[in-house]
Structure 1
Amino acid sequence: MTTHLDLLTGESAAELLDAAVATAGGELVDWRVRQVDHRPGSTTTVAYRATVRWDGVTRCETLGASVGRSRDGTKPGVVTLTDGDATVAVWRFPDDPALPALPAAFDPVRVEELLEGLGVGHQARAHPELGVRAYRPTRRAVIEARAAAARVFLKVLRPRKVADLHRRHELLSDAGLPVPRPLGWSDEGLLVLSPLRGTEMRAAVRDGARIPSPDEVLDLLDRLPDEVRDLPRRPAWSESAEHYAGVIGAALPAEAGRAADLAGAVGARLAERGPGTDPTHGDLYESQIMLTDGRITGLLDVDSAGPGHRADDLACLVAHLDVLSLTRPKDAAQAEQASRMRRLAADYATAFVAAGDGRGADRADLCARVAGVLLSLATGPHRVQERDWQTATSRRLDAVAGWLDGSRLAAAVGTA
């Protein structure tokens, strides 16, 4: 029996994409899977990078397809197809059925009008230059708009989420946190944000440049206002370990049992602490932190800010640093970089534990939460269709086990 995952990522996907493109008057030349969002027993959504010929002109296109989302097929620009068992909705970027504001956010004329209405960019002599910074089909997109007198980011999300995200940016900006200032929003799901100073911490991490000390990270979290506790609670990454184990098992059945066992161990550890009430960012890692000369000057993506355990923020940063060490090195330089990433993750973890309860984290609790975040990250190789994603997934599960039993932290500290 063909699963929804097989349908959208296997050979049959070519027939679906070819039929959808032909319906719009084009010819599919080539395609490959770029991103997979598979929710076992519920929905599957896939993004593709395709080469399409239109009236003799060949262009690169981003296509999307979904199964299990019944409303997608009713939206403008979406072609509905069936293989006899499942109904598939297929679209071309920017006609995402769950993101009605995306076509306007990717239209230079309409963005120019938007900027003028907000009082920015009115001196521009040409349409804004638009660039896609991020796109998760049916989930969100980020468009950078540059004009002669303005630079803003257009964050597109599902309409029901935009007012809440605007409030979060407003709350944190008013409290003095270095988050993007909200400049305006629409009911369709468009949020306009100011740019931040600096470059992503990930670049400094990779280059071996100055990065914030553990104390500076803790100081940043200390600045989160108490009002964050009153925001809706979002599950921490580690609290969704069972879900991510299911995603891994569906994509890689050979690891289903191990993933489920690891998720069970994470869940048992977390149950000992119960829900937290600390103000948290909710998704703190090196790509969310902006630096200028090694100092923190920006904090991105506050979508998940709310009450929780500070240890979850600290674990998120440690896990993301550690996962950078898990890429298979091609030469000695890459091997040294991987080793440095692992030591860096361990150094942060050790310092966070040394900071003590309240400001830092308990060692066993932090390790369990790092393991939980790593379990969510173990879905990444399949989601972005890395080459040999099966091996990469297993390596990440090895790291999960290593944090749960403490051996990964101990080994990294021992090599420092």
Structure 2
Amino acid sequence: RVRVFKCGPDFLDPYWHSLASGAPVYQLDLWMTGEADCRARLSAAALGADLIIVEGVMGLFDGAPSAADLARRFGLHVLAVVDASAMAGTFGALAFGLQHYQSGLPWAGVLANRVAGAGHAEMLRQSLNQPHDWLGAMLHNPALVLPERHLGLTVASEVPDALARLDAAADALAQTPLGQMTLADLQRWNTEFAPAADASTLAVPKLLQGKVIAVARDAAFCFIYAANLDCLQALGAELRFFSPLANAAVPDCDAVWLPGGYPELHAGAIAAATHTRNSLARHIAAGRPVWAECGGMMALLETLVAVDGQQQPQWGLLPGVVTMHARLAALGLQQLALQSGTLRGHTFHFSTTATTMSAATRTAPPDTPPSPAAGESLWQHGPVRASYFHAWFPSAPAAVVELFGAVAQAA
């Protein structure tokens, strides 16, 4: 029984983790999700799993907080996977540096990736100061490569041979010392998690009891944290999913969530989704709330301009034009202060938006007040709130209630 977590605000890697593990995958971030949330999720997973794997984010020490920070906080032993395709002795130096760059880092060892053959693997093994750090070599194999695009890995459900690729990787790993370890062997990296806080301190009042929230979910709208869905349900909401790419009408509901994703890859299909567009227009005309994040906001605008300059009409329910760029436009942790609380989250996009709407407020980096020259705009147009900001709902459930239409009353 394996549970997998992802360090940092990543939507795409968890699709692969979930397919491989057969279990939901949640994010861990000492700032965005918070230490208490991380501890509660790790503790709960430990009660029902034999093995917990946490994939890092970027490099081991990149970002604040970093994967190394998370490992130290919870005593997670670090297994470094190093692309060794163009090195020999330097492999040992990298392994030594990763282990000792910051003090107090729990260390498991190193796995070499993209190795040319048995002779290359032996050179890599001999480069290590500590022989027990060697956990094996994964040979270079195109069958193990996962497809990717501008925001990261391609979603697993869009890759027809996704399971075959995972099986090939599992077979390759089984040939390494790491892959041949038994559960008893893995106990050398055993970690005991302190019990999570009393459940009553983590519970949220059912402020959305009786409310129905319609959630767009398909290949164009797929940036959805499992924890966000859990949070809405914990607040008492009933969730109804619909697919704009299938031209499905918005279900009868009290509020709509249009999450991020890849509208730029499906702009023509979105434009042709007239049933979705018209039912959404009726929902808005009735004064019912819409929360549109990043790609969800892009679909609501009038026009999408591709990197090559081609223009595609969108739903036209918000004034403005979104333009795709070849280079990253924004990336980083952000927070959004609302009347009922401050949501934490992040921003990550390759587009910019030109609109006549004025920003109702703006997001800000961690521990920084909002500024007109920084952060992401939160636009409000009638009952529609829209932003490039991706919110982590459990960080401020009362603010989530506000987003979906009911201002939480102070206790």
TM-score, normalising length from structure 1?
0.26
